[in-house]
Structure 1
Amino acid sequence: MTGRRTWWKTVLGLVFVALMLFPVYWIVNVSLTQTKDLRANPPHVFPWNPTFDGYVNVLNDQLPALGTSLLIGLGCVALTLVISAPAGYALAKLRPRGGGTLNFLLLVAQMIPSVVMAIGFYAIYVRLGWLNSVWGLIVADSTIAVPFGVLVFRAFMSGIPEELVQAAKIDGATTWRTFISVVLPVSRNAVLTVSLFAFLWAWSDFVFASTLDRNGDAVPVTLGIYAYIGNNTTEWNSIMATAAVASVPAAVLLVVAQRYVAGGVTAGAIKD
């Protein structure tokens, strides 16, 4: 009886999943469609005469851009963790004066549009000489990830029992040693969560890249895709093939890390 009453929920769930995944299917469909077939009206919903020219172009043209995006993503993760983890620990356990105000400012910082921030970064980078540089993009992308990281670390580390921290202090550990050797290891899930979102933000960034690195020698894949957009013609299969290839790292990370994000932080951390 229960199965009969809930079958419609399963069907509804499948419909919603199909709607959400349809753009992914269409990207793959167009990436395999020949240029002459793209002009069909209505367009083909299945690549009857598939071509891999778009993926060949990606391998020939976009590998440097993919490498640049990977470097920017990893750099953003490293810089975000270095700043946000100690800051989250300080807010959660050291409780400095003005911590509540700082939390509010971090929330406000996440509401600022990227376009507004990009304009400010451009004015600053012109003076610093950081335009068209990978390091400049790493710093810019980190400004979005760091406030989120601090809030996540604070929430995770606030749940760490005080007994664990006090035990480390009784053993003679300094504040920094307690953070490195005790708090950070049991905050693995927070580290993975912040790292995942920081990488995805940097990997998919377009606003900062188009504003701060448009004429650089090393451009991310979000700008490299413009190589297939011309004044008179647009290579749609190459564009969609680039989008499909660029989506693979993000999809793999989401699948691998999802079970850690929802996991407990301090399970088994306290010794009897």
Structure 2
Amino acid sequence: MLPLRPRRSRGLTSTLLAIVLLALMLAPVQWMVSTSLQPANGPRQGAWFPTDPDAGGYATALREQGGHLGTSLIVALGAALLSLALAAPAAHALALRPLRGAGPVLFGVLLLQAVPGITVANALHSAYADAGLLDSHLGLVLADSTAGVPFAILVLRSAMRSIPPEIVEAARLDGSGALRLFRSVVLPLSRNALVTAGVFAFLFAWGDTLFALALTTSDTVRPVTLGVYDYLGAHSTRWDATMATAVLASLPAAVLVVVAQRHIADSTAATVR
């Protein structure tokens, strides 16, 4: 039994270290929630949680930022759906169909991930001005998809390459055409990867600030990532409304990740294997 003690000791040390790291990572979240419940005249220094919580910040945030939250939701959902719609057929072609030049195409997809966002934003602003897409939901959806599509292709290609060839051949022998094979066999077997790619495409668009700043010039279409700056000024800062908006903006992303965590874990494990 003696050899087990070092292992138990190492396990206890690892657990304590994980708890400390988790506490450090959650500290900003605790501060954000606590500040959002403080009175409007400013947070009380040193208070871990307000003794007299005030929900006025949330009322202000919902009243003034509700439309911006709706814009972010529309853009993020649109970017996720568009990313999957474009990436799934491309990943299928790269994974299961013998195409000449597939290697350079995949390398080009990887290079797209390395292009600075400011470069893409500057190019899109000029093109959008000519096409009339500035201050539009469609414009932001298209712009945010430039980050979601390359990532989705990489994730989906890896998942589709792991599909047993026997299943594909059996479907073809049963008379499945290319479209039916893709719709009825490949996509269902790639469900975890589809969820993973869709979640990350949603998160890319939900947290975007660069494209929103470069491609919007008015309050007509304004995501919440820009709306929060309405509360930050040189002479006054409305911390309660600012943090309440941050909490509300964090909830959809947090809920989505929690709901989809099993699919994300399974997709990651399959990719590693």
Per-residue CA deviation, residues 69-99 of structure 1 (Å, 9 max, x unaligned), is 1111110111111100000000000131111
Residue in structure 2 matched with residue 270 of structure 1 by the alignment:
none
**Number of aligned residue pairs:** 264
Q: Partner of 1:83 in structure 2?
A: 86
Aligned pair 1:24/2:40, yes or no?
no
Aligned equivalents of 2:156, 2:50: Cα separation in 1: 46
5+ residue gaps, structure 2: none
Deviation string for 1:211-233 (max 9, x for gaps)? 10231412111112122223431
Stretch of structure 1 that moved more, 192-201 or 221-230: 221-230
- CA shift for structure 1 position 43: 4.7
Looking at structure 2, the residues matched to 236 and 226 of structure 1 have their Cα atoms a distance apart, in angstroms, of 11
Aligned to 1:11: 16
1:172-183 equivalences under 5 Å are 172-183=175-186
Q: Distance in 1 between matches of 2:138 and 2:59?
A: 30
Maintained 8 Å contact 1:214/1:223 = no
Structure 1 counterpart of 2:217, from 214, 223, 235: 214
SS where residue 266 of structure 2 aligns? Answer: coil
Cα deviation code 1:198-255 (max 9, x no counterpart): 1111111111001102314121111121222234311111011000011011111111
For structure 1, the 5+ residue unaligned runs are 268-272
Instruction: Name which of 252, 256, 265 aligns with 1:253.
Output: 256
- In structure 2, what is the equivalent of residue 112 of structure 1? 115
CA-CA distance at 1:7 after TM superposition: 1.8
8 Å contact 1:133–1:216 — kept in the other structure?
Answer: no
8 Å CA contact retained: 1:130, 1:136: yes
CA offsets 1:21-53 (integer angstroms, 9 cap, x no match)? 111111111111224443x6x553432332211
| Deviation of the 1:130 alpha carbon | 0.4
Between 5-14 and 104-113, the greater mean CA deviation after superposition: 5-14
Please give the alpha-carbon distance, in whole angstroms, between the structure 2 residues aligned to 1:213 and 1:110.
23
Percent identity between matched residues is: 45
Aligned-partner Cα distance in 1 for 2:9–2:113? 45
Q: Distance in 2 between matches of 1:140 and 1:43?
A: 42
1:34 aligns with 2:39: yes
> Matched residue of 2:114: which SS?
coil
- 1:74 alignment partner, one of 63, 73, 77: 77
TM-score by length of 2: 0.91
Equivalent residues of 1:37, 1:44 under 8 A apart: no
Root-mean-square deviation (CA), in Å? 1.8
**Residues 139-154 of structure 1: pairs in structure 2 closer than 5 A:** 139-154=142-157
**Contact 2:193–2:267 at 8 Å: present in 1 too?**
no
The question of 1:242 aligning with 2:245 is answered yes
Contact 1:28 1:240 in 2 (8 A): yes
Choose which of 134, 155, 158 in structure 2 pairs with 1:131: 134
CA deviation vs aligned residue, 1:247-271 (integer Å, no higher than 9, x gap): 0111111111111122269x9xxxx
